[in-house]
């Protein structure tokens, strides 16, 4: 289980590195936000202030030179990053707390499935935006699965995982809408 998480992490970081280098060579103004504006104004974004604050607060999103690049940044920089953080938390909790081992192992696996879907979406953005959109949207099912499995657990770790899952639930529409903006 840990080795697949490590492989996914390495793969994700390799993808993210291309965005870390790209802005330096970009001729865009430092605070270009035209693609952020367009995305956050789309009708499928319910929480427009959250969209704006999140994307303008993520410096790589400001460098997006196209809607495709913004979608790549949203998926790899925001969604995949949050999935990785949540996977690490679930894995560490499963290792530290024997009474939660099975349940948090399941949560880790569910988030790994989300990471896989997002990795596929990232790869498909330029060739098949609709398929990418579908792959991002499937993460909604995994979020629901985690929330249903965690139930009304009151322990600190479960509450933390609920908070992390709720944050993913807020971030996911940004990825869905970003793929829709490029024809998904």
On whether residue 43 sits in a domain, the answer given is: yes
Q: Percent of the chain beyond pLDDT 70? A: 82
pLDDT at residue 59 in the model: 85
Cα–Cα distance between 35 and 68 in angstroms, integer? 9
pTM, two decimal places:
0.81
Domains in the chain, number: 1
The whole domain housing 132 covers 31-181
Cα–Cα distance between 29 and 85 in angstroms, integer? 31
On whether residue 130 sits in a domain, the answer given is: yes
Residue 27's pLDDT band, with cuts at 50, 70 and 90, is very low
On whether residue 72 sits in a domain, the answer given is: yes
On whether residue 106 sits in a domain, the answer given is: yes
On whether residue 105 sits in a domain, the answer given is: yes
Beta-carbon neighbour count of residue 147 at 10 Å? Answer: 14
pLDDT, tens only, 82-126: 999 999 999 999 999 999 999 999 999 999 999 999 999 999 999
On whether residue 4 sits in a domain, the answer given is: no
On whether residue 145 sits in a domain, the answer given is: yes
Q: What is the CATH number of the domain that holds 145?
A: 1.20.140.40
183: region left, alpha or beta (phi > 0 left; psi from -120 to 50 alpha): left
On whether residue 37 sits in a domain, the answer given is: yes
Q: Which of 44, 101, 34, 95 is nearest to 65 (CA)?
A: 34
pLDDT at residue 12 in the model: 54
């Amino acid at each position: 289980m840990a080795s697949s998480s490590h492989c996914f992490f390495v793969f994700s970081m390799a993808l993210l590195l291309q965005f870390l280098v790209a802005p330096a060579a970009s001729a865009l103004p430092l605070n270009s936000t035209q693609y952020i504006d367009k995305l956050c104004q789309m009708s499928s974004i319910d929480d427009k202030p959250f969209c704006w604050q999140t994307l303008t607060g993520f410096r790589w999103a400001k460098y997006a030179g196209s809607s495709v690049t913004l979608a790549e940044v949203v998926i790899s920089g925001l969604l995949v990053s949050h999935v990785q953080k949540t996977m690490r938390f679930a894995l560490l909790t499963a290792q530290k707390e024997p009474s939660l081992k099975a349940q948090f192992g399941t949560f880790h696996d569910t988030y790994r499935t989300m990471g896989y879907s997002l990795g596929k979406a990232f790869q498909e953005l330029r060739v098949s935006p609709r398929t990418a959109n579908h792959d991002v949207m499937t993460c909604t099912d995994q979020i629901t699965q985690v929330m249903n499995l965690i139930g009304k657990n009151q322990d600190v770790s479960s509450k933390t995982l609920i908070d992390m899952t709720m944050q993913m639930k807020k971030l996911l529409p940004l990825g869905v809408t970003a793929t829709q903006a490029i024809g998904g």
